[in-house]
Amino acid sequence: MTLLPPHEVLKVMTLTNVSVGYSGSVVVENASFQLSEGQIGCLLGPSGCGKSTLLRAIAGFEILMSGDIKMDGKVISTPSYGMNPEHRKIGMVFQDIALFPHLTIAQNIAFGLSAWPKESAEERVAYLLELVGLSGFQMRYPHSLSGGQQQRIALARAIAPKPKLLLMDEPFSGLDAKLREELVPDIRKILQHEKMSALLVTHDQMEAFSMADQVFVMDAGVIHQTGSPYQIYHEPETRFVASFIGHGDFLPATVCGANCVHSALGNIHGDLDHGFADDTKVDLLIRPDDILHDDDSEFVGVIVSKLFRGSHFLYRVKLSSGKVVYCFASSHHDHAVGQEIGLSVHLDHLVMFPRE
Ligand SMILES: Nc1ncnc2c1ncn2[C@@H]1O[C@H](COP(=O)(O)OP(=O)(O)OP(=O)(O)O)[C@@H](O)[C@H]1O
């Protein structure tokens, strides 16, 4: 009797000081992070920063230049050792969906189940088709499915053998924005339902925000910050993270107390001590909704452009210092470009960096 392969769940994957590159030149430097049971992580960064290279190293396709990768305490990669990719119990989904065109949808999903007893494999295929919302599609061929449906099948195929970890390299970037918006939360639900740990690569922060529990923000081969989507947006630790994540401006300011800075918009107070000495010149991060239109304020700016967003206007406003910042106003406050409006700052937490 053929037995079902045991289902193993990832407890933790750990990268410690991992450097990877090509032909002796380093592309990813000293990357360290952990992914725990059932967690969805995301490597987020601009094109060319080394996200795919790091993912390929985890999959076992690139040799490390330094550091190590462990899964559940077992070393899978060091500079002198690389466990065979097939033995890592890692599934992969790529941007180019690459379903086998000559196989039916059921055969595509069952591709990694050759070691399973026939009946169990059929059950698993039927279960996954239902999970991805495509029951009844088993006898169809990939070309007869839409891009979003094909990507669901690619996911089902990758998770069918119950890998310990799923790696996804820009899996949604070939899909249009509307489809992506629908598919991303669905895929998150499917992975959570399967208690599958996963690592997603993307340069799209909205995708990272909707998919990930933990985001690893990368630039030029270096991980700048690890945190929840909320943390990397509201508590960026480096100037790069502050400017890469979300919209915002850096407002020049001077420290004037433990939780206060002075700026062209007056004294701005935060709710936490910022740790900078008095009189330090800093750049304060201002998000679009931190500056509100306020007729009663003594501080004013001149509107240089405006965007109507339905429920609100997003103005670009020039301050007397010459600095241009965002200003948020309810859609009842329809002002013209060139008009002067009052502004007030509403910030909880001061995020700032020494002036460059
Ligand atoms: N096989 C290779 N040989 C040599 N250099 C490579 C190879 N693959 C990638 N690189 C280089 O490594 C750097 C990082 O590439 P990588 O694909 O990891 O970045 P990425 O962040 O995933 O980018 P993107 O979002 O555009 O896919 C780039 O400068 C790229 O040109």
**Residue found under tokens 């931190």:** 290
> Residues with Cβ within 6 A of ligand 1?
22, 27, 45, 47-53, 203
Q: What is the pLDDT of residue 3?
A: 53
Q: How far is the CA of 282 from the centre of ligand 1 (A)?
A: 34
81-82 β-sheet, strand order: 25-36, 12-22, 66-71, 74-78, 81-82
Q: Which pTM does this prediction carry?
A: 0.87
Q: What is the pLDDT of residues 246-291, one digit of tens each?
A: 888 999 999 998 889 999 999 999 887 778 889 999 999 999 889 9
Most confident segment among 90-94, 222-226, 308-312: 222-226
* Atom of ligand 1 lying closest to residue 43 CA: 21
Q: Please indicate whether the domains covering 12-241 and 249-354 agree at the CATH topology level.
A: no
Per-residue pLDDT, averaged over 96-121, amounts to: 90
Q: How far is the CA of 159 from the centre of ligand 1 (A)?
A: 26
Q: What is the pLDDT of residues 7-19, one digit of tens each?
A: 678 899 999 999 9
Residue 179 has pLDDT above 80, yes or no: no
Distance in angstroms (rounded) separating the CA atoms of residues 157 and 108:
6
> Which of the two residues, 309 and 62, has the higher pLDDT score?
62
Q: What is the pLDDT of residue 178?
A: 80
Q: How far is the CA of 53 from the centre of ligand 1 (A)?
A: 6
Per-residue pLDDT, averaged over 75-95, amounts to: 92
Architecture of domain 249-354: Beta Barrel (2.40)
Interface ipTM: 0.94
Ordered DSSP codes for 170-226:
STTTTS-HHHHHHHHHHHHHHHHHTT-EEEEEES-HHHHHHH-SEEEEEETTEEEEE
Q: What is the pLDDT of residue 4?
A: 58
Q: What is the pLDDT of residue 1?
A: 45
Q: What is the pLDDT of residues 224-240, one digit of tens each?
A: 999 999 999 989 999 99
Q: How far is the CA of 35 from the centre of ligand 1 (A)?
A: 23
Per-residue pLDDT, averaged over 154-176, amounts to: 88
14: helix, strand or coil = strand
Listed by start position, the domains of the chain span 12-241, 249-354
Q: Which fold has domain 12-241?
A: Rossmann fold (3.40.50)
